[in-house]
Amino acid sequence: MFKQFTISTKITALVIVVVMLAVAAISFISYRMTKDSVIERYEASLTVVADSKSDRINAYFGHIISNLKLLQETKTIKEGASASASASSGGFDTFSMDFSADAPAEDEAEDFGFGFEEESTPEPQPQVSYDVSGFLNEVKAAQGYENIYITESNGIIKYSTNSSLSAGSNFMDRDGNTLSKSLQGIYFSNIFKNKDNNKYYIYGGAPISHPSGDNSLLLIEISMDDIHDIVNDHTGLGNTGEIILAKVDTTSDRINFLNTVRNDMDSNVKILKDGSTKAKAVQDAVSGKSGAGIRTDHKGVETVAVWRYLPSVDWGLVAKIDTDEILSESKALRNRFLLSGLVIVILATLISLIFSKYLVNPLLSLKKTLELVGNGVLPEKVEKQTNDEIGMMAVSLDHLVQTLKNTAQFAQQIGEGNFTADFRPISEEDDLGISLVNMRDNLIQAEKRDKERNWIVTGVAEIGEILRAHDNLEQLGDETIKYIIEKIGAVQGAFYVINDEDDSREMVLEMKSSYAYNRKKHLQVSFKFAEGLVGQAAAEMDTVLRTEIPDDYVTITSGILGDQRPTCILIVPLITDEKVYGVLEFAGFEKFDEGKVKFVEELSLILARTVFNIKVNERTRRLLEESQAMSSELQEKQEILRQNAEEMQATQEELKKSNTKLEEQIEEVNRTQKRMQLLLENASEVITIYEEDETIRYISPSVEPILGYSQKEMMGKSDVDKVHPDAVEAFREMFGQLKANPDEQVTIQYEYQTKEGNYIWLESTGTNFMSNPAIHGLIVNSTDITERRRAEQEQRMRSKMQALSENSPDLITRLENETISYINPVIEEYTGKRPADYLNHKVRETDLNELVLEQWLKIVEQVNASNEKVATEMDFPSEMGDRVMQVNAIPEYDETDHLESVLVVSHDITERKMIELEIQNKNKKIADSINYAKRIQNAILPNTAVINRVLPDSFILYKPKDVVSGDFPWYVQVGEDIYMAAVDCTGHGVPGALLSLIGYFLLNDIVRSRKISDPGLILDQLDEGVTSTLRQDQDDSKTKDGMDIALCKISVANKTVEYAGAHRPLYIMKDGEMEELKGNKFAIGGGIYKNQTNFTNYKVNLSKGDSIYFCSDGFPDQFGGPQNRKFGPKRLRELIQQVHTKPMKEAFKAFDHEWESWKADEKQTDDVLLIGIKF
């Protein structure tokens, strides 16, 4: 369709489409960028609002949590509210309590200490009475709570500030979980509405542990007004913005909105199903996630939302505003873009119309000229109207017209027969001109070929008359050679024929005729194949045309010319059906042209067929004469043969009668042998005849189906090598007994190796027939008893298994088609009933517990489905109480490999489970303690963000082996000096972590408090402090713990590093060269060493681009690699030299990747700490 439009229309349409696409793209991109910018701005604003609201709510409930913890520990409540205390009014202990949010709870203070206890001697305390109700009213008034309750664990109120709910009444658990959850720790309930005042409240609960050992609950009724005041402040939220609080209702798994929604006529709180397609931001917030983005709210409206999780109360907070409101200005901007684009499109349309008209007019002129040329009219001249590409097209068209005129004139001359007309193509690419020249040349060649063809056809017709007139080869050769010599202008010719009549002689080419100067030459010449040019032409079956003739090849003698040598020789073989029958040879004083050669070659085919026919005719005549002579001789011999045949016939009749009788006897013997063969082949035993030397003389054919050997493989040798080594002695003893006692039979059982290499059991009975002249040997009858022995063994195993099962402590049951076919006596211990009450009963018909029945049947179904053993654990209610069983269901198959029954073995693991549960609880407590220690250790580790601000091109690679570590990095900045150390304490895990705390606080004290700045002196003081703290300077000290350290004092401004070390080196990369400072060879602490001196202090000046590295021994001591060896200091130094030119972030990745690759699947050997700093 687009091809039908004019160029002007296409140009106009193209310009309009390009302009429209450009306007649309610019408008769309501008609108999208404006929209994204507005959304990002509002997201940032909502984030500030959401964070502010969530911080205020967290602070509000944090204050309540602090008060709950303080109230838990007050003596008035702990002792006065216990069941053993008197509830009567009276004075209570003077208690000065701070209920402000900044006052830490008592247990919080203990959490941040080292947990030591002071020893004190309890003294008898006088009986004190407490006014619990008065105390609760004072707390209520001071904190502004709605009500405070103290209840028993079952909800019966003991103390209350609410006059409508007095002591003894039941506390109403609004969400069903307040009492149970509060017993476990501080808990905030779902909100509820007080129908009396239409206000919303929430309960905060906490457990109370009384000295008497009983427990109570402390419940505070808190008004939601303060929370609603926070969330109902819509400052910065526009007209549609709002704050939503939500919580998952623990009783129904629904999400409740905790405040009324803005711009909603319904004042009640909303309810949302968890998993709803709406309000995804609310669902994410209550599930513990925080984030921001475009979300659909509960009304199905698209909004920009920011959501936060409030962990203190397990709430979610969402700040949102409708996208329609924030994008209203963007939509007006979009409309302005569209209007401007429409104006641009209209202007572009007008411009494109004017431009297309100017461009198309010259093209229309060229179009008219091309239409004339297309119709065969060649104008005189094509005018050039412009100087642009269209003007150049006009010049080219004019040149084309002039060329076509010249070409047409040349074609006209060729048509008139003027083949010598002068014409040259315009160029090598002028197809029309070149084609006309080729046409002229082809016409000339065709005329020449026609003349040659007519000359050849005339000659072939004339030679055909000569060939039909002769049936003798010599006469045929004379006439043919004479005609061809005259036809082609030769001076001499010869005709050769192959002599192949005698098969015993080698074929040769014999000259039958020769001519020279129109006279017959009586020459006798012959050539073998490949002999001379004649033989070579015959052997190669190809024409030979030679113009260089040897001096001794041929000479032509003439009375006028004298002796002359020809200048051209033509030899053509006579070939038909790919067989050579003769050769034509011609000589001339001038070279034979292609036409003459072709003429002779065409005649050669006709001559070859003629020679073949003449030879066949001559051979036929000769054979006919020989055949007539042989026929006469054959008639005489036939008469003699007839007489001999009559005599032979009489003799054959006598032999036929004798043969018939003999065949009948042989057939009877064969039938008897076949019957014996079948009996022996299908016998269930192998019959063997042994020689006296125990070699096999004969063995029955049944040996092949039973043992796999053929008769040929067994006969003629001893088979004792196939007897199992354990039975060889018994096998030989059998032969000995047979020879010693010829009248007795001997029977033995032994294992025998089959051809497949397996051993089977045979029962052999031997009999001595040495005295029998027909046999004269030892006959052994052997039967395969493998299956019989297997059945006997299986019966013995069943008996043993039955005995084991009867005395097993495990409950063993066999189920066949849901029927109990066997159950051992253990069932009586668990159910009180004997096995007979269950045997041969359907599982569902027994009195077993329903839970046990269902689980047993489920296990059987699993075995039936998988045909494999199934192992599981199950609860087993019994006479001894609830037990835990480890059940193994084993499939049992019949002879056809079909599942026959399932053996269910139940092992009582109740005691083991109880021990495992106790171990899990202890492990959890230990893990909790270690994790708390980790938090303490993490709190003292240096902040990497602070280090990166001071040393931006640095890294710390830190990999503790356990949860807590014995290695730790230490960092302190004093003025412009930076102190940094890699400390490796003895051991790892908890012992190492305790030593790390000692080292951390001692280093801080030495540098900060004592103001010691020299690294060597710092290590001296640290060594003294560790030795003193661990009391290693005393004679009875048994601790040898200490630490290795590499300590650096760094001046970034001066680019200097001071270093001191204990067993740990410092690697320095300076100007691309590595320098290693090894430090002192004694550790910090661990006792007093012999010849121990002060630690050496080193100072190094560095330049920009230089770097330093120091680490604990965990990095080089890691085992791994192909040979499971240590990483080693050498490999560490090589790695530092490889990466020291990279930025430290990339170096960190290189160190980490190399170490992890080396470690691979090996366990981590020690804590790992590596620090790198580049200047």
**Local confidence band at 331 (pLDDT 50, 70, 90 cut-offs):** low
pLDDT at 1110 over 90: yes
Q: Is 236 left (phi over 0), alpha (psi -120 to 50) or beta?
A: left
pLDDT at 506 over 80: no
Instruction: Determine contact, residues 814/728, Cβ cutoff 8 Å.
Output: no
**Local confidence band at 558 (pLDDT 50, 70, 90 cut-offs):** very low
132-136, 168-172, 495-499, 615-619: least confidently modelled range: 615-619
Q: What is the rounded CA–CA span in Å between residue 52 and residue 54?
A: 6
pLDDT at position 41 = 82
pLDDT at 557 over 50: no
User: How many other C-beta atoms can be found within 10 angstroms of the C-beta atom of residue 891?
Assistant: 17
Q: Taking Cα atoms as reference points, which of 51, 54, 52, 49 lies closest to residue 237?
A: 49
pLDDT at 646 over 60: yes
pLDDT at 758 over 80: yes
User: How many other C-beta atoms can be found within 10 angstroms of the C-beta atom of residue 299?
Assistant: 13
Residue-by-residue DSSP string for 422-487: ----SSTT-HHHHHHHHHHHHHHHHHHHHHHHHHHHHHHHHHHHHHHT--SHHHHHHHHHHHHHHH
- Residue 106 phi/psi, 5-degree rounding, is -65, -40
Q: Which CATH architecture has domain 941-1174?
A: 4-Layer Sandwich (3.60)
Q: Taking Cα atoms as reference points, which of 1117, 1114, 1112, 1109 lies closest to residue 1148?
A: 1109
Instruction: Determine contact, residues 1065/1078, Cβ cutoff 8 Å.
Output: yes
Domain residue limits, the chain: 229-326, 378-459, 460-621, 682-787, 802-908, 941-1174
339-353, 421-435, 853-867: least confidently modelled range: 421-435
Fold of 682-787: Beta-Lactamase (3.30.450)
Mean pLDDT of 773-801: 79
Average pLDDT, the chain: 80
Fold of 802-908: Beta-Lactamase (3.30.450)
Residue-by-residue DSSP string for 1121-1157: TTTTEE--HHHHHHHHHHHTTS-HHHHHHHHHHHHHH
pLDDT at position 1049 = 94
230-244, 970-984, 1010-1024: least confidently modelled range: 230-244
Q: Which CATH architecture has domain 460-621?
A: 2-Layer Sandwich (3.30)
Mean pLDDT of 928-933: 77
**Highest averaged pLDDT of the listed ranges 266-280, 347-361, 589-603, 786-800:** 589-603
Q: Which residue has the tokens 């010449």?
A: 525
Q: Taking Cα atoms as reference points, which of 1108, 1125, 1107 lies closest to residue 1116?
A: 1125
Q: Which residue has the higher pLDDT, 822 or 399?
A: 822
Within this chain, domains 460-621 and 682-787 share the same CATH topology: yes
Mean pLDDT of 380-403: 69
What is the CA angle 433-437-442, rounded to 5? 145
Burial of 160 (0-12, 13-18, 19+ CB in 10 A): buried
Instruction: Determine contact, residues 521/514, Cβ cutoff 8 Å.
Output: yes
**Local confidence band at 1045 (pLDDT 50, 70, 90 cut-offs):** very high
Mean pLDDT of 692-721: 88
Q: 148 in helix, strand or coil? A: strand
pLDDT at position 1129 = 92
What are the helix (H) ranges across 278-419? 280-286, 323-326, 328-374, 389-415
Mean pLDDT of 432-451: 71
Domain boundaries 229-326, CATH class: alpha beta
What are the helix (H) ranges across 682-753? 703-707, 711-714, 728-740
Mean pLDDT of 763-773: 89
Mean pLDDT of 833-839: 82
Instruction: Determine contact, residues 605/577, Cβ cutoff 8 Å.
Output: no
Q: Which residue has the higher pLDDT, 231 or 637?
A: 231
Residues 872-900: tens digit of each pLDDT:
888 888 878 888 888 898 888 877 778 88
Q: Can you give the pTM of this predicted structure?
A: 0.35
Residues 469-488: tens digit of each pLDDT:
777 777 777 888 888 888 78
User: How many other C-beta atoms can be found within 10 angstroms of the C-beta atom of residue 404?
Assistant: 14
Mean pLDDT of 409-437: 71
Half-sphere exposure of 314 (CA within 13 A, CB side): 14
- Residue 1092 phi/psi, 5-degree rounding, is -75, 130
Q: What is the rounded CA–CA span in Å between residue 497 and residue 518?
A: 21
Half-sphere exposure of 1099 (CA within 13 A, CB side): 6
In total, the chain counts a number of residues equal to 1175
Paired sense of beta strands 685-690 and 1066-1070, if any: unpaired
**Local confidence band at 376 (pLDDT 50, 70, 90 cut-offs):** low
Q: Which residue has the higher pLDDT, 25 or 728?
A: 728
pLDDT at position 30 = 73
Q: What is the rounded CA–CA span in Å between residue 553 and residue 872?
A: 111
Residues 780-791: tens digit of each pLDDT:
999 888 888 877
pLDDT at 940 over 80: no
Q: Which residue has the tokens 């929370």?
A: 227
Residues 108-132: tens digit of each pLDDT:
333 323 333 333 334 444 455 678 8
Residues 527-539: tens digit of each pLDDT:
888 888 888 888 8
